[in-house]
């Protein structure tokens, strides 16, 4: 199966766990997009009533085009379930997220549930966070220099994320901040690094999701769906 077919298999599996009447946080990225498509299909074919809470403009636009009813993030404080992708997943279900620059709003939505389901192709599994991915940061623009200096003291090399074609200059998040990527060596204590980053004023979000995911669904070429 192709990478995309693996992502789809994980997305479909998670969407099939959604029950009638639920209010569900809907993540961002290519894997989450497959989950959203399957949810729309289930609403249509099974007639289930599900309300979504989106984590980005990307997912909001997809939900609107598919007719999935949405509530604003600011209207809710508890969600029955949240389903999202990830960039790295360790054996303790700790994550690096943020490739899509959506991690701040995704973390807010993830904080509203005790049923946080992560979906991914098995290539996202790592033994130690930081093996492949930098840690995305969401930074108040005026703090970029002071944050860069302080993250360097923690062992991270910070690079401001520049826009793809279609936007000259830096990526701006849905909340209007800069995104930067902090490259660390493999992270021995991700919980401590998360706390250290949270103490640097000007960092409003980071992509370390520690002790948040309650279930991981990995789609693997050889082993099929792996859940832990
Ligand atoms: O940016 C994000 O947080 C996405 O969820 C990312 O972590 C996973 O995106 P993908 O499913 O397209 O790999």
Interval 179-225: pLDDT, tens: 999 999 999 999 999 999 999 999 999 999 999 999 999 999 999 99
Q: Report the separation in Å between the CA atom of 84 and the middle of ligand 1, taken as the mean of its atom positions.
A: 8
The phi-psi region of residue 212 (left if phi > 0; otherwise alpha if psi is between -120 and 50; otherwise beta) is alpha
State the chain's mean pLDDT as an integer: 97
Q: Is the CB of 88 under 6 A from ligand 1?
A: no
Burial 159-193 (b: 16+ CB within 10 A, else e): ebbeeeeeeeebbebbeebbbbbbebeebeebeeb
Residue minimizing CA distance to atom 5 of ligand 1: 85
Cα–Cα distance for residue pair 120/194, rounded to 1 Å: 22
Name 127's bridge partners. none
- Residue 28, annotated as binding a ligand: yes
CA 132 vs CA 23, 24, 56, 144, 213: distances in Å: 34, 30, 25, 23, 20
**The two three-digit tokens of residue 68, written as one number:** 């999935």
Residues 6+ apart with CB under 8 A from 149: none
Residue minimizing CA distance to atom 2 of ligand 1: 98
Predicted confidence band at 1 (pLDDT cuts at 50, 70, 90)?
confident
CA-100 nearest atom, ligand 1 = 1
Give the tens place of pLDDT for each residue, 6-40.
Answer: 999 999 999 999 999 999 999 999 999 999 999 99
Q: Which of 41, 51, 133 is nearest to 85 (CA)?
A: 133
pTM of the model: 0.97
Residue minimizing CA distance to atom 6 of ligand 1: 86
Q: Is the CB of 103 under 6 A from ligand 1?
A: yes
Catalytic residue status for 106:
yes
Mutate to test the pocket of ligand 1, among 7, 29, 34 (most ligand atoms within 8 A of CB): 29
pLDDT at 165: 87
């Amino acid at each position: 199966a192709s990478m995309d077919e693996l992502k789809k298999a994980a997305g479909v599996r998670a969407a099939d766990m959604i029950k009638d009447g639920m209010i569900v946080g809907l993540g961002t990225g290519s894997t989450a997009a497959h989950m959203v498509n399957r949810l729309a299909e289930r609403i249509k074919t099974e007639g289930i009533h599900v309300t979504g809470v989106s984590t980005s403009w990307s997912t909001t636009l997809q939900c609107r085009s598919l007719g999935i009813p949405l509530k604003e993030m600011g209207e809710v404080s508890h969600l029955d379930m949240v389903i999202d992708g990830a960039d790295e997943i360790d054996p303790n279900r700790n994550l690096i997220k943020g490739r899509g620059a959506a991690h701040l709003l995704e973390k807010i939505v993830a904080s509203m549930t005790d049923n946080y389901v992560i979906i991914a192709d098995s290539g996202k599994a790592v033994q130690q966070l930081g093996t492949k991915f930098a840690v995305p940061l969401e930074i108040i623009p005026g703090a970029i220099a002071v944050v860069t200096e302080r993250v360097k003291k923690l062992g991270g090399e910070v690079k401001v994320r520049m826009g793809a074609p279609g936007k000259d200059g830096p990526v701006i998040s849905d909340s209007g901040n800069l995104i930067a990527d902090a490259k660390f060596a493999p992270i021995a204590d991700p919980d401590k690094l998360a706390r250290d980053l949270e103490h640097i004023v000007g960092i409003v979000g980071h992509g370390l999701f520690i002790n948040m995911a309650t279930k991981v669904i990995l789609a693997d070429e050889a082993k099929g769906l792996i859940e832990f």
